[in-house]
A and B are shown apart, each in its own frame.
Chain A
Amino acid sequence: MSNVFEEIAGLDKLIHEPARLAIMTILSTIESADFLALQRLTGLTSGNLSVHLSKLVEGKLISYDKKIVGKKTRTQVKITAKGQQALEKHWSQLETFRANVQKSKPQ
C-alpha cells in the first residue's frame, strides 16, 4: 500500500489541482482559447482563473499569445509542448494509480 501513497505523492501538484487540470484538459484539445472562453468552460471567476493561469505560466505549461486588435489587447492562451507532455504523464500516472488500487483491494 505504501507504493500507492508514494504514487499519490509523486503526482504533479501543479496539474493535479481540479481547476488547473480542467484548464489543461481544455487547452490540450484546441489550438488556443481566450480568457472569456476559459472562464465559461471552467466556470471559474476571473480572479481565480487569473491565479491558476499565472501558476501554469510560471510552470511553463501554458503560454500567452497577446495580439492587438483595434484598440484592445486580445490574449490567447495555448498549451506548451512541455504542458502537453506533463498532462499526458499525469493521466498515465492516474491510470497506473487506479490499476494499483484495484489490484491491492482485498478479495
Chain B
Amino acid sequence: MKPNSQTRFLSENYSALHGLNAVPVGLALFLVSLWANIVQYPIKNFSLPIVIVLGSLFLSIVVDQYYKKTFGEVKPILAKRRLYWIAQCVWGLFGIIAFWADVTFNLPVNFIGLLFASMFLLDKPKVTFPLNRFSAVRLVLSVCIILVSIAPLYFGKNWWDILGVRTTIIGVTMFVGALIVLQGVLWHFFFVKSLPIDEAKDE
C-alpha cells in the first residue's frame, strides 16, 4: 500500500500522468517541422503533413485504448475537466499570438519556444508544482527550451544554419517535438513505477 499523499496524487492526476498520450503530438510536431525544413519552396504538395497529422491522430487513439485496457479509467471532478478545456483554449490563443509575433517581428527571441517552455511548467500545475520526478523532468526540459529559444540573442539569428535548419521557428519546433516525445516516455515510465505492486505479484 502506498502512502496516502501519493495515492491522492496518483488518483487526482491519473489521466494527466499517462505520458504516452503526448508522444503522437510530439512526433507530429517534429515530423511536420522536419518536412518544412526539407520541402522545396514554394510548397505545392501538402499531402505528407496531412498524412503525418492523420497518423498522429490514429496513434493517439491507439495510445488511449492501451491506457484504458491496461490501467482503466478515472474521471476527474467536473471543475477540473472544465478547467482543462479552458486552459487548452487559452494556450491555443497564445500559440496563435506567438506564431504571429515570430513571423511578423523577426526578433532574436522565439515566442513559440517560450510559450512551449511555459506550457511545460504551467499546463498541469497539480503535477508540476509539487517537486517530484514528474515536475523535475518538465523543469529541466523547460529550461532547455528557453535556452534554445533565446539562443539567437547570443549566436545570431542564423545560427540554425550550422545544423542545416532553415529558420529559428523550424529549429525550435523540431527541438520541442523531440522533447515532448522524451517527456512522454519518461512520464509513462515514472507513472508505471509509481503504481503499487499488485498483491498477487507481491506474494
Contacts and interface: CB of A to CB of B under 8 A. Distances in A.
B11 A30 contact: yes
A30 B76 CA distance: 5
B26 to A, nearest CB: 25
Interface in A27-85: 27, 29-45, 48, 76
Contact of B73 (A26, A27, A34): A34
A76 B197 CA distance: 23
Nearest to A31: B75
The residue among A34, A43, A44 with the most chain B CB atoms within 10 A of its own CB is: A43
B72 A37 contact: yes
B1 interface: yes
A41 B14 contact: yes
B78 A48 contact: no
B12 A41 contact: no
Given A22-B7, A33-B72, A35-B72, A45 B199 contact: yes
A19 interface: yes
- Chain B interface mostly: mixed
- Chain A interface mostly: helix
B71 interface: yes
B4 A30 contact: no
A42 B14 contact: no
Contacts of A39: 72, 198
B75 A76 contact: yes
A60 to B, nearest CB: 21
B199 A44 contact: yes
A79 to B, nearest CB: 11
Contact of B7 (A26, A31, A37): A26
A41 B75 contact: no
Given A25-B8, A26-B7, A41-B11, A36 B72 contact: yes
A44 B197 CA distance: 9
Interface string B51-83: 000000000000000000001111111100000
A80 B74 CA distance: 16
A44 B78 CA distance: 27
A45 B7 CA distance: 17
Given A22-B1, A33-B72, A41 B10 contact: yes
A48 B199 CA distance: 9
Contacts of B72: 33-40
A76 B68 CA distance: 13
18 contacts: A22-B2, A25-B7, A25-B8, A26-B11, A27-B11, A29-B12, A30-B75, A30-B77, A33-B72, A36-B73, A37-B73, A39-B72, A40-B71, A41-B14, A41-B195, A41-B196, A43-B1, A43-B202
Interface of A: 18-19, 22, 25-27, 29-45, 48, 76
Interface of B: 1-2, 4, 7-8, 10-12, 14, 71-78, 195-200, 202
